[in-house]
Amino acid sequence: MAADSSPRNTKRVTITDVARHAGVSTAAVSKVMRNAYGVSPAMQERVRTAMAELGYRPHAAARGMRGRTYTIGVLLDNVRNPFFADILDGIREQLEDSEYTVLIGAAGFGAEDQARTVRAMVDRQMDGLILIAPGTPRSEVLATAAVTPTVVIGHHDTSDAHDSVVDADDLGAGLVVDHLVALGHRDIALVSAAGNKAGRWRRTPEIALADGYLKAMDRHGLSDRARVHHAAYSDDGGHAAGIALLSGEDRPTAILTGADVAALGIYRAAADLGLSIPGDVSLVGYNNTAIASLAPVQLTSVDQAGHTMGATAARMLIERVEGRRDRAMRTTMAPRLIVRRSTAAPGIR
């Protein structure tokens, strides 16, 4: 674990600076910071954007004036991804002997829906937020973190405003490619979420995973065979990707997916096409969720310690909420490849 640091302004930005930058009164800025009733969404957006652009962070004593609610908000895009269950278990276990209650916001994949959920959590004066791979625009997350302690799980972008818990996704992809090449595979495809460019996150888990995959393929002299297929991290997304990749003559002999839940959809697609795993195609997931080890599945997968990620995020958040630390920190998990029966040497076509 290491603290991230970047150059800071020598002159502290004040609420007056924020008001001038936003073109509003200091009273309006104060209302936004206090989540006062009656502040319009447009005013909230205007003031929060100014805070983010100026790097404004209120004094810790000012944050504490409203009192503590002992609630922690967790944002995720859906409840069907079993990896999120691992993270939530870690959060719950870390907080089970405390006074804090965890409230979950399953906001869907849309950036605006996620942003609306985050605003609702702030409006309800939750003491802190844990955002799991948020699609919310980065500027809004930074503005939110300026007034509410926040931990971002997944995204590799660093900031003085929030803490981060990430997996070394590029290394995880490299472990998979090395494993598959050692088995004799050369036509290895990656199925990854497309991500949301409008959010302006520079290094999402999907970007890091694709970078690691492409670099590993290049390291093995296989750049010309690299294929990245974008699909949602869901069973349906994986099924659609599997049909697209496995229907043609040039189908890959191995597929890496960025999530176990998508790998399950590829299992289904292979069965629909009369193909077997690993006889016709080797398959690797990511997250090493409980479903990967089920006897009928036995999915080779990258373990990124979801339970530990959740517990670490909760511990880091409470440190900030309770004023035991005021510098942003980032923790990186080291991935491990768990080999099971879904990978084998390529079959003869």
Per-residue pLDDT tens for 7-53? 444 567 888 888 899 998 877 887 777 656 567 888 888 888 888 88
pLDDT tens per residue, range 238-284: 999 999 999 988 999 999 999 999 999 999 999 999 999 999 999 99
- CA dist 63 and 61 (Å) reads 5
pLDDT tens per residue, range 188-226: 999 999 876 666 788 899 999 999 999 999 999 999 999
Chain mean position to CA 5: 21
What's the pLDDT score for residue 108?
A: 81
Confidence of residue 59 (pLDDT cuts 50, 70, 90): low
Give φ, ψ of 129 to 5 degrees.
-130, 140
What's the pLDDT score for residue 243?
A: 97
Residue 63 pLDDT > 90 = no
- CA dist 178 and 213 (Å) reads 10
Residue 106 pLDDT > 50 = yes
- Note the pTM of the prediction, 2 decimals: 0.77
113 three-state secondary structure: helix
Q: Is the peptide bond before 278 cis (omega within 30 degrees of 0)?
A: yes
- CA dist 313 and 196 (Å) reads 23
What's the pLDDT score for residue 58?
A: 62
